[in-house]
C-alpha cells in the first residue's frame, strides 16, 4: 500500500479507537492516537504476516511494549483480519479477551504479553537473538513509549542488542513527549534519544512519526546494526483538543467531545 492508502486506514483506526474508548469509558486515548500511524504502516505494508496463520514460524514479529495502548493494536489487528471487527465492541467488558493490556494466549497476532513497562524490548531482543541462532529470516519490531525509556531494563537490552549485532531488530520510540501525569521534560528527561542510541552502537533514524511518507522508508530500512527509529509524534494526534495535552493520557471524551473528535478524524488534510 502507498502512503495515501495507509493514511486512510489510519483515520479509520483512530475513529474506531475513539468510539471504543467512549463506549467502554476507559482507555489510553492520547498514546493510541500517537501510535496509530506506525501501527498502520507495520500491519498494512511492512510486516510479513498472515492472519490465516498467525503463528507461522517465518512471520515477522511485533512487540507492543507500551502495552497500555492495547486498544490501538486490537483495532489494527481487527482491520487486518486477525480478529472480528465487531469484537472491538467488547473492549474491557467482563469475559472479553480484549483487556487493557495485550495477551498472547487469547488474542491472535499478539506476540507477547506486555504491560509492565520496560519488558517488551528485552523480549524483542530475545526474539531477534533466537532468529540469529536458528538462521531464521524474520525481522523483529518493538514499540516503546518515550517515558518508558526511563526503565533501566531497556538500556540493558539496547546494550545487548549491539553486542549481539542484531541487525534484524528495529526499535520504535513513540516520542510524544508526555507520560502519565506530566511531560517528559518535567520528569526524567532522557531526550534527545538519538545520540544515546548511537553511543550504544545502534543506527538511528529520526522521523515525523505521524507522517506516512517518513514512516514507511524508516521501517523498511535495513543495515548491519540494530536500528532505532525515534518517531516524533503528537499525543492525541488528529484531535485538536487532545493534541499535546497530558490530561488525555487516559481521559475519556464526553459526548460533545466524542462528536468533535469523530468529525475531525473524518477530515482529509
Residues pairing with 36 in the sheet: none
Mean pLDDT of 99-119: 96
Do residues 101 and 68 make contact, with C-beta atoms less than 8 angstroms apart? yes
pLDDT at 269 over 60: no
Say how many CA atoms lie within 13 Å of 172 toward its Cβ.
Answer: 32
Q: What's the structural domain count of the chain?
A: 1
pLDDT at 1: 85
Query: What contacts 186, CB < 8 A, 6 or more positions away?
Result: none
pLDDT at 28: 96
Mean pLDDT of 8-31: 97
CA–CA separation, 84 vs 164, rounded Å?
A: 39
pLDDT at 50 over 60: yes
Mean pLDDT of 9-30: 97
pLDDT at 43: 98
pLDDT in tens, 58-73: 999 999 999 999 999 9
- Containing domain of residue 93, as a range? 3-266
CATH code: domain of residue 63: 3.40.50.970
pLDDT at 181: 84
pLDDT at 210: 98
pTM of the model: 0.97
198: which 3 cell numbers? 548511537
CA–CA separation, 144 vs 222, rounded Å?
A: 20
pLDDT at 268: 60
pLDDT in tens, 140-155: 999 999 999 999 999 9
pLDDT in tens, 163-210: 999 999 999 999 999 888 888 888 999 999 999 999 999 999 999 999
Tell me the pLDDT band of 80, cut-offs 50, 70 and 90. very high
Amino acid at each position: 500500500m502507498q502512503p495515501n492508502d495507509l493514511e486512510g486506514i489510519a483515520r479509520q483506526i483512530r475513529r474506531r479507537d475513539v468510539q471504543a474508548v467512549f463506549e467502554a469509558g476507559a482507555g489510553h486515548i492520547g498514546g493510541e492516537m500517537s501510535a496509530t500511524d506506525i501501527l498502520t504502516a507495520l500491519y498494512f505494508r511492512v510486516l510479513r504476516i498472515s492472519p490465516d496463520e498467525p503463528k507461522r514460524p517465518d512471520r515477522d514479529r511485533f512487540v507492543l511494549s507500551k502495552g497500555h495502548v492495547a486498544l490501538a493494536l486490537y483495532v489494527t489487528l481487527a482491520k487486518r483480519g486477525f480478529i472480528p471487527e465487531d469484537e472491538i465492541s467488547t473492549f474491557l467488558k467482563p469475559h472479553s479477551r480484549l483487556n487493557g493490556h495485550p495477551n498472547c494466549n487469547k488474542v491472535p497476532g499478539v506476540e507477547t504479553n506486555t504491560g509492565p513497562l520496560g519488558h517488551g524490548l528485552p523480549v524483542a531482543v530475545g526474539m531477534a537473538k533466537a532468529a540469529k541462532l536458528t538462521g531464521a529470516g524474520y525481522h523483529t519490531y518493538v514499540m516503546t513509549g518515550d517515558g518508558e525509556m526511563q526503565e533501566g531494563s531497556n538500556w540493558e537490552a539496547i546494550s545487548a542488542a549491539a553486542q549481539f549485532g542484531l541487525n534484524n531488530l528495529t526499535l520504535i520510540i513513540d516520542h510524544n513527549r508526555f507520560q502519565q501525569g506530566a511531560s517528559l521534560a518535567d520528569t526524567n528527561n532522557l531526550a534527545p534519544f538519538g545520540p544515546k542510541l548511537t553511543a550504544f552502537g545502534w543506527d538511528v533514524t529520526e522521523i515525523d512519526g505521524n507522517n506516512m511518507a517518513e514512516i514507511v522508508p524508516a521501517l523498511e530500512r535495513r543495515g548491519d546494526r540494530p536500528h532505532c527509529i525515534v518517531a516524533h509524534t503528537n499525543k492525541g494526534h488528529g484531535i485538536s483538543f487532545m493534541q499535546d495535552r497530558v490530561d488525555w493520557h487516559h481521559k475519556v471524551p464526553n459526548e460533545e467531545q466524542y462528536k468533535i473528535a469523530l468529525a475531525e478524524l473524518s477530515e482529509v488534510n
